[in-house]
């Protein structure tokens, strides 16, 4: 039995994190979310070069179509390989056949020059016709001038800003600092530490697996009036699995919760990337409805059609060689891990 659905949307991904698996343990065990950023992600992103960025994007894009995800909203940082990085990611995704909205996460954590170069990469990519948003790492790593410049670039370019908001306790000031900048086309990733009555505009992206992994607490998206979408925050792009985690977390605080709520969050992805609605995924399972999928692990796509083209057939990518992508990714991961 098979069933067909539109393509799924991962509303917050970090393709560059795909090569992090198996990386050497940091010198000290991180004990807080801030230390996880400092000792894992900010060391990893600093070691990336464009070849690694390309390889991580190829593998991440391949894994997306292998899970029926036809559109990725990516948030990228590679502070020692900024220029051209968004084009590298867009090209890698195009080669595999998956849709991507790219963004470079601007930050002042490496000085004003780093922020300027990040903004310029967003500007260049969007001006050249690239599909994406303006990326900002988070308010707590940016000065007010940088936040204002990113918001302005978004307005000028006709796109929203993709930013982490209140993921950890370091970023609770984000509410006051972003209150006059946000618009409905912004993407607010995480929002764990926002109150239900916060004034920020935009779609909140809930990342249940990542939040569990970082022990940042339950974001409880029910309390927001904003639209809510689902993302993986760099841990693969399996959106059926992410829906299931979102439901289980919801259920952990409310035994009357139904899977329809998390399903609605997953469906918000189609408002962010409407073309994904026209993509076609044929699944190994029928019916693809929330009540079945909440309790049926291991459902997988047999065939994926994106923009009318078959990119996965009988479970195997058609436009690229998956074995070759995985072999290259292993090589680049070894280089990256050695650099750490
Ligand atoms: Zn993130």
- Give pLDDT tens digits for 187-220: 999 999 999 999 999 999 999 999 999 999 999 9
Mean pLDDT of 234-247: 98
Q: Domain 3-132+235-339 belongs to what topology?
A: TIM Barrel (3.20.20)
Calpha distance 205→296 (Å, rounded) = 24
Mean pLDDT of 115-143: 97
Gap from CA of 163 to ligand 1 centroid (Å): 8
Q: Cα(314) to centroid of ligand 1, in Å?
A: 32
- Compute the average pLDDT of residues 175-183: 96
Q: For strand 187-190 and strand 3-5, is the pairing parallel, antiparallel, or unpaired?
A: unpaired
Check residue 235 and give its pLDDT: 97
Looking at residue 234, its pLDDT comes to 96
> Please, which residues have CB less than 5 A from ligand 1, an ion?
233
Task: State in Å: Cα 270 to ligand 1 middle.
Answer: 20
Q: How far is the CA of 313 from the centre of ligand 1 (A)?
A: 31
Distance of CA 9 to the CA centre of its chain: 10
- Cα of 84 vs centre of ligand 1, distance in Å, is 21
The tens digit of pLDDT for each residue in 132-164 reads 999 999 999 999 999 999 999 999 999 999 999
**Which pLDDT band holds residue 117 (cuts at 50, 70, 90)?**
very high
Residues forming beta bridges with residue 163, ordered by sequence position: 136, 188
Name the band, by pLDDT with cuts 50, 70 and 90, for residue 165. Answer: very high
CA of 65 to the centre of ligand 1 (A): 20
From ligand 1's centre to the CA of 12, what distance in Å? 6
What's the gap in Å between 234 CA and the centre of ligand 1? 7
> How remote is the CA of residue 74 from the centroid of ligand 1, in Å?
9
pTM reported for the whole predicted model = 0.97
Contacts of range 242-248, beta carbons closer than 8 Å, 24 or more positions apart: 242/10, 242/207, 242/208, 242/209, 242/266, 243/290, 243/293, 243/294, 244/293, 244/294, 244/297, 245/208, 245/209, 245/212, 246/206, 246/208, 247/290, 247/294, 248/208, 248/294
Run of H or E residues at 328: helix 322-339
CA of 53 to the centre of ligand 1 (A): 16
Q: Quote the mean pLDDT of the chain.
A: 96
C-alpha 164 to ligand 1 mean position (Å): 6
Q: Hey, where are the domains in the chain?
A: 3-132+235-339
Q: How far is Cα 174 from Cα 14, in angstroms, rounded to an integer?
A: 21
126, 154 Cβ separation under 8 angstroms: no
The confidence score (pLDDT) of residue 1 equals 84
């Amino acid at each position: 039995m098979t069933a067909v659905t539109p393509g799924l949307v991962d509303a917050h991904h970090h393709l560059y994190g795909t090569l992090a698996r198996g990386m050497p343990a940091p010198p000290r065990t991180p004990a807080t979310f801030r230390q996880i950023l400092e000792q894992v992600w900010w060391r990893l992103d600093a070691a990336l070069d464009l070849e690694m960025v390309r390889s991580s994007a190829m593998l991440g894009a391949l894994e997306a179509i292998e899970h029926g995800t036809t559109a990725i909203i990516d948030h990228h940082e590679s502070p020692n390989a900024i220029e051209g990085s968004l084009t590298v990611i867009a090209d890698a995704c195009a080669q595999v056949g998956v849709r991507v909205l790219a963004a470079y996460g601007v930050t002042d954590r490496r000085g004003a020059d780093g922020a300027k170069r990040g903004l310029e990469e967003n500007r260049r990519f969007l001006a050249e016709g690239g599909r994406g948003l303006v990326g900002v790492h988070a308010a707590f790593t940016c000065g007010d001038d940088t936040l204002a410049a990113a918001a302005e670039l978004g307005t000028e370019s006709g796109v929203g800003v993709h930013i982490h908001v209140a993921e950890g306790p370091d970023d609770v000031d984000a509410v006051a600092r972003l209150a006059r900048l946000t618009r409905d086309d912004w993407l607010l990733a995480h929002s764990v530490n926002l109150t239900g009555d916060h004034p920020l505009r935009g779609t909140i992206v809930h990342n249940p697996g990542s939040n569990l992994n970082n022990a940042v607490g339950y974001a409880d998206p029910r309390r927001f009036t904003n639209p809510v979408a689902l993302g993986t925050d760099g841990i693969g792009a399996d959106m059926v699995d992410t829906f299931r985690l979102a439901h289980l977390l919801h259920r952990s605080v409310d035994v009357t919760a139904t899977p329809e709520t998390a399903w609605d969050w997953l469906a918000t992805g189609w408002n962010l990337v409407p073309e994904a609605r026209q993509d076609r995924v044929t699944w190994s399972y029928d019916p693809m409805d929330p009540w079945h999928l909440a309790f049926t692990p291991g459902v997988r796509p047999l065939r994926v059609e994106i923009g009318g083209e078959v990119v996965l057939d009988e479970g195997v990518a058609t436009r690229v060689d998956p074995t070759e992508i995985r072999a290259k990714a292993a090589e680049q991961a070894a280089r990256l891990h050695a650099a750490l």
